[in-house]
């Protein structure tokens, strides 16, 4: 239960906050939010957005207050209003349907997800069956599967499935992955696939994106020096959930919180070094909110832990830059 009004704890040693970097927004999330903001400026409210633009309630609520209307499917978008597709990507049929209806649409799919889409198309054009490592039901997986025909791609969610999968006979094989997976789990699955199918085609570069890898490396680093770790992010944010798992594997307690009001002080009993990080869709304002909350209850020492420096910025869709 939330305890924002609990009295400050006194007489305790200081709580050291190991604050991971990089954390929070990635270039793809930043770009997707900017696309919605610019679309509202350019077209005026309402601007429809198919699916949560990124998996974070705070971000979605903020954009909603500024004139965005979030819907699950294109059918819910009235004729004559602009629509934005989320950072996770959409099946090919969605922009095709929007064009058929004459809707103005803006595609906020992260360029790194689009890269996976293009690879899927190329494999199919080269008659390769795709083994796709990912989580069933995640919008990114639905979007990538929607780039090809159902019989051309098979989902693999676990090492067990990688051991038992029977691909269609005859043709060549390739594997691709969701961008926000656990680096370690995926390496295990890939090792199994490469052992079983030595000629399987690897992705061009890594499909797990730079932001996911960097945040996992950063949380590993803080977890190895912390008594517990808080990850700020949404339960439906794949990369945030992975951060909790990575921290737990380092042998510490870890918890996913949406924001400061989710912190339970009892959970922090005995913790003197607390790791803090945020998933790729969680804004920095929520990290500051958590630090301020802790400062209200403990004597706090902030210790930033810098990992890889990120300088990646993605271009906006053509035409929107000048808005
Ligand atoms: Fe793009 Fe990676 Fe961010 Fe997803 S987590 S939006 S793939 S940069």
- For residue 131, give the CATH number of its domain: 3.40.1010.20
In a domain? residue 8 = no
In a domain? residue 322 = no
Q: Catalytic: 140?
A: yes
CB distance 87 to ligand 1 below 6 Å: yes
pLDDT digits (tens, 9 = 90+) for 18-75: 999 999 999 999 999 999 999 999 999 999 999 999 999 999 999 999 999 999 999 9
Which strands, in side-by-side order, build the sheet including 153-156?
153-156, 128-133, 172-177
Domain that holds residue 221: 14-25+210-304
Q: Check whether residue 100 and residue 122 sit in a common domain.
A: no
Give the nearest ligand 1 atom to 31 CA. 6
In a domain? residue 6 = no
In a domain? residue 316 = no
* Cα 271 to ligand 1 centroid, rounded to whole Å: 32
Question: Which listed residue (37, 52, 140, 221) is catalytic?
Answer: 140
Residue 122: which of 201, 21, 239 has the closest Cα? Answer: 201
Give the nearest ligand 1 atom to 113 CA. 7
In a domain? residue 3 = no
| pLDDT for 319 | 75
Answer with the one of 167, 196, 225 that is the final residue of a domain.
Answer: 196
Q: Check whether residue 85 and residue 32 sit in a common domain.
A: yes
Residue 65: which of 90, 45, 91 has the closest Cα? Answer: 45
Q: Check whether residue 250 and residue 290 sit in a common domain.
A: yes
| pLDDT for 9 | 53
Mark the ranges of the chain whose per-residue pLDDT is less than 50.
1-5
Specify burial of residue 114 (Cβ count, 10 A radius: 0-12, 13-18, 19+). middle
| pLDDT for 10 | 53
* Cα 168 to ligand 1 centroid, rounded to whole Å: 31
β-bridge partners, 276: 19, 230
Answer with the one of 107, 124, 146 that is the final residue of a domain.
Answer: 107
Global confidence as pTM:
0.94
* Cα 254 to ligand 1 centroid, rounded to whole Å: 23
State how many domains the chain has: 3
């Amino acid at each position: 239960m939330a305890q924002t009004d609990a009295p400050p704890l006194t007489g305790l040693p200081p709580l050291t906050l190991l604050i991971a970097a990089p954390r929070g927004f990635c270039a793809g999330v930043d770009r997707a939010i900017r696309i919605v903001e610019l679309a509202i400026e350019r077209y005026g409210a309402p601007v429809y957005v198919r699916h949560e633009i990124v998996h974070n309630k705070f971000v979605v609520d903020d954009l909603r207050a500024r004139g965005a209307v979030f819907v699950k499917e294109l059918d819910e978008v009235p004729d004559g209003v602009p629509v934005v597709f989320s950072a996770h990507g959409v099946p090919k049929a969605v922009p095709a349907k929007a064009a058929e209806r004459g809707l103005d649409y803006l595609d906020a799919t992260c360029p790194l997800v689009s890269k996976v889409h293009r690879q899927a198309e190329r494999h199919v054009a080269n008659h390769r069956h795709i083994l796709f490592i990912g989580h069933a039901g995640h919008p990114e997986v639905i979007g990538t599967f929607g780039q090809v025909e159902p019989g051309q791609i098979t989902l693999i969610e676990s090492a067990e499935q990688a051991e038992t999968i029977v691909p269609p006979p005859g043709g060549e094989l390739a594997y691709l992955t969701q961008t926000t997976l656990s680096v370690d789990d995926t390496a295990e699955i890939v090792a199994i696939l490469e052992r079983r199918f030595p000629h399987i085609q690897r992705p061009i570069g890594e499909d797990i994106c730079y932001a996911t890898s960097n945040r996992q490396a950063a949380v590993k680093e803080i977890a190895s020096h912390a008594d517990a770790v808080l990850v700020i992010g949404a339960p439906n944010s794949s990369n945030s959930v992975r951060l909790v798992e990575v921290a737990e594997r380092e042998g510490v307690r870890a918890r996913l919180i949406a924001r400061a009001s989710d912190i339970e002080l009892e959970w922090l009993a005995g913790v003197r070094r607390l790791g803090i990080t945020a998933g790729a869709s969680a804004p920095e304002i929520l990290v500051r909110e958590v630090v301020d909350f802790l400062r209200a209850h403990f004597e706090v020492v902030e210790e930033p832990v810098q990992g890889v420096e990120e300088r990646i910025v993605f271009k906006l869709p053509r035409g929107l830059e000048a808005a």
